[in-house]
Amino acid sequence: MQANVRLGRSDLHVTPICLGTMTFGEQVGQADAFAILDRALERGINFLDTAEMYSVPARRETFGATETILGHWLAARPGARDKVVLASKVAGPSRGMDWIRNGSPDLTVEDILAACDASLRRLQTDVIDLYQIHWPVRHAPAFGALYFEPRKLKPCSSIEVQLEAMQRLVRSGKVRAIGLSNETPFGLCEFIRVAESAGLPRVATVQNPYGLINRVVDNGLDEAMHHHQVSLLAYSPLGFGLLTGKYDACGLDDPADQPGRMALFDSMKKQRWGRPEALDASRAYNAPGA
């Protein structure tokens, strides 16, 4: 598999397929994670994505577990680090997870710098190739929310402040390129505008959900990314497994032959993929002759 996809205007070139790792440390133990990573590398995949808050479902006990497993794998595989493009993320405001920066509703320069240093230690590497803001610091519709609600706006670190923190990481050699996740068209355009006007690092990517049962990217973000030369990292293309068909017969209760996140974790059923219309849509897509 050729690493011929350039991420935005950065110098990062990746394979068309990225291995997401957010189940490592919860559903997937270290031995199985090592086997998956070895197989991905063997098949030519050079792009790995993780985040400080993984594994999922997010909880205090497994915060940082996925990065730790990846760090152990890199340490046990001399030369592997030079073969992969490694992406991670700093969590945005805590969203009720009080173990992330003591539940801070903001993301300051100091928060970003400290989070990056902690990720580097867990990953056992000197540099993160793509460092992303996991969700917006400001109030914005994300994780299945559909509508912007101005009444929920609160003071927070500005986009310029966030980019200044990223600039410090890039200049120090700890980060090569930066990205966003769960971002809106407005947010992306503001990050680009501020970066270009203030001489700060330019966003290379946006990592958002995109698949047959989530087409939000097509509602304006695609246009913004095209004109600003920003790459899409599509996550959950199978809708947490709904599009594989394994939930078609049993619903979200328990496909005993192949239990998945939607069956194992009640919290997952409350997310956008657990909506009845999502399962109905997936069944329609999976139907013979569809």
- State the DSSP code for 246: T
- Do 48 and 37 contact (CB within 8 A), yes or no? yes
How many beta carbons lie within 10 A of that of residue 197, not counting itself? 9
Residue 117 to residue 123: CA distance in whole angstroms? 10
Residue 160 to residue 151: CA distance in whole angstroms? 23
Rounded to the nearest 5°, which phi and psi values hold at 112?
-65, -45
Q: Which residues are catalytic, by number?
A: 54
Q: Tokens 């989070």 label which residue?
A: 115
How many beta carbons lie within 10 A of that of residue 144, not counting itself? 16
- Do 114 and 108 contact (CB within 8 A), yes or no? no
Residue 120 to residue 125: CA distance in whole angstroms? 6
Residue 124 to residue 219: CA distance in whole angstroms? 39
